Structure 1
Amino acid sequence: MRTLPDFEALAVFVRVVEQRSFSAAASDLKVSKATVSKAIHRLEARLGARLFNRTSRRLALTEAGSRLLERARQMVAEGEAAENEIMAESAQPRGLVRLASPMSFGLIEVAPVLPDFLKQYPGVSLDLHMSDETIDLVGMGFDIALRIAALPDSSLLARRLRPVARHLVAAPAYLEGRGRPTHPSHLADHACLGYAYLPTPETWRFMNRAGEEVSVRPAGPLRANNAESLLPALEAGLGVAVQPDFIIRDCLAAGRLEVLMPEWSPPPVALHLVAPPGGPRPARVSALMDFLAARLSEPVSPARN
């Protein structure tokens, strides 16, 4: 099996020639003189030729060293050029970023801010994927995802942006006909509109300020895999539902929906920005993460008529 060239030793060799001494090369490279000497001895042993004639006052190239120098300089120059090119690309945001977001949150809060990002970073393009299903970032090749959850331990890197309040809500017309529940146990007598991607869709959990927890099994005429799609049925007075604040804020402000059992809340969740683990991220990914963190850490205000 062929071995790779000793690129490090070749680069050290070039620096010794340029600095005209082992000591000066070591100082320039910020390593010990012994490290430089070992690299040159290793290269000479590999090549089977002496590269320098050494005296107490002078360092001169041998014939073999002179022949090697031009090729070694080309190699170092090409390496430096390649590094500089990649570092320049990394420093200037450029290229495609794949972003995943929950559907309704993506439509309501993410999509409206993306034009500002694209104006700020014209060299970056975005692939926005919206779905309430939890996707495999690594397996599906996404750079970033926004998730609303109580995140379990995982290998993903997560940044918590803000809490997301969830409320039990219903329309005034529903409450006039069916009454107002004041305790989670009362929901057994109510039509419950369900969201399929709750952590436990078959069970609704509520907690009060005293730490008491109550679980109920909801039943009703509709369940959907997108929470916003429940709004028409809610506003039509067909039932009650647990909804996140960003979906119902306008309905609450307009009086089309009301919060029920305010002393009882579903378990807390938060908006997180998650990314696969790994080394330094491309500048385009870091730029989008910082932008989203700045713009989404505070909820938007309700729309005003």
Structure 2
Amino acid sequence: MADIRDINLNRLVIFAAVVEAGSLTAAAARLGLAKAMVSTHIQRLEREVGASLLVRTTRQIKVTEGGRVFYDACCRILQTAEDALSAVSDASAPVRGTLRVSAPHDYGALAVAPALVDLRHAYPELDVELICNDSYVDLIADSIDIAIRLGRLADSSYRAVKIGAFVKWVVASPAFVEKWGKPRSPAALAKWPFVALSVLPHPMTLELQRANGDMKNVRCSSGLQVNTADAARAATLSGGGFALLTDFSIAADVKAGRLVRLLPDWTTAPAGIQAVFPPTSYPPAKVRALIDVFRTRLAVSA
């Protein structure tokens, strides 16, 4: 078995260029080297690894089976090296350019927008665009640098960093409570007017739990359905029914008495708030900067 200390790693770049270009001549032109020099490096690399990587004829070059495996490994090594160099460069370079951020309407307005203001104060050369959308956003197709997403993430190749968590509370307006009273158990909610968020997979079903491990599913039989969290909050404040709303969006309403928590021992299961970005070993400096701002804000509010 070859020893890594005996291999000139610079030759990995030349080998990858030959495979991708399909010939020594084309690879030499791409690398700015003489064809004879490229050929010499390939021969020496084969001796160093102890295996035939290419089959050379007068007209073409074919990659051996072992060469194909070696090429795939070279690509990973070279990409990791490029990412590392980019990370070092980003660490010393100013955070600038444009950062495009996607977030749900309610969390975007309540938490992301203020965080972006902090980010701009810290990095005034950075331009920021916030796109609030409750629908799924394709980061690559829509040129989004980072998306803030709530709840369980669908399987994907994107990277994700947890930046927070939330639960949902059962709430209603004081006028609604005066008319309907306070429920003694989750089951009592089944026949009460309910403000449902229609974009959820099961908008008329409440999945509640409490600290001792009890769990209850309640199927609501009637209600007003809306398609945004902001509309659900507004309808609940107006006495249109009780609702299951995120704690971050209504904590101030509950504290001010505009909304009343029903069944305060019961919430939904805790769910994550994640920063999602395209896969890379080292995220761009502007993405890391926003994640750091979120973590700082959460540490202050904890």
Output the TM-score relative to the length of structure 1.
0.66
Q: 1:299 to 1:267 in 2, by over 3 A?
A: same
1:235 is matched with 237
Partner Cα distance (2:214, 2:115) in 1: 39
Output the TM-score relative to the length of structure 2.
0.67
1:247 is matched with 249
Maintained 8 Å contact 1:166/1:243? yes
Counterpart amino acid of 1:265?
T
Instruction: Work out the number of aligned pairs and report it.
Output: 232
Mapping 1:16-95, distance limit 5 Å: 87=89, 91-95=93-97
Q: Secondary structure of the equivalent of 2:28?
A: coil
Maintained 8 Å contact 1:202/1:217? yes
Partner Cα distance (1:272, 1:298) in 2: 18
Counterpart amino acid of 1:164?
F
Q: Secondary structure of the equivalent of 1:159?
A: strand
Partner Cα distance (1:218, 1:172) in 2: 21
Q: Which protein has the larger Cα radius of gyration, Structure 1 or Structure 2?
A: 1
Q: 1:114 to 1:88 in 2, by over 3 A?
A: closer
Maintained 8 Å contact 1:162/1:298? no
Maintained 8 Å contact 2:167/2:269? no
1:79 is matched with none
Fraction of identical pairs, as percent = 31
Partner Cα distance (1:260, 1:95) in 2: 47
Partner Cα distance (1:291, 1:250) in 2: 22
2:179 is matched with 177
Partner Cα distance (2:257, 2:198) in 1: 26
Partner Cα distance (1:298, 1:166) in 2: 22
The offset of 1:280, in angstroms, is 3.0
Counterpart amino acid of 1:234?
T
1:141 is matched with 143
For 1:128, which of 109, 130, 140 is the aligned residue? 130
Counterpart amino acid of 2:165?
P
The offset of 1:229, in angstroms, is 1.7
Matched, 1:4 2:27: yes
Counterpart amino acid of 2:297?
R
Partner Cα distance (1:88, 1:253) in 2: 43
Q: 1:293 to 1:274 in 2, by over 3 A?
A: farther
For 1:273, which of 264, 272, 275 is the aligned residue? 275
Deviations 1:225-276 (A, max 9, x none): 2212223322222210011112111211111111111222212212111112
Q: Secondary structure of the equivalent of 2:240?
A: coil
The offset of 1:99, in angstroms, is 0.5
Maintained 8 Å contact 2:172/2:242? yes
Q: CA RMSD in A?
A: 3.0
Runs of 5+ in structure 1 lacking a partner? 14-33, 39-82, 301-305
Runs of 5+ in structure 2 lacking a partner? 1-22, 38-43, 49-84
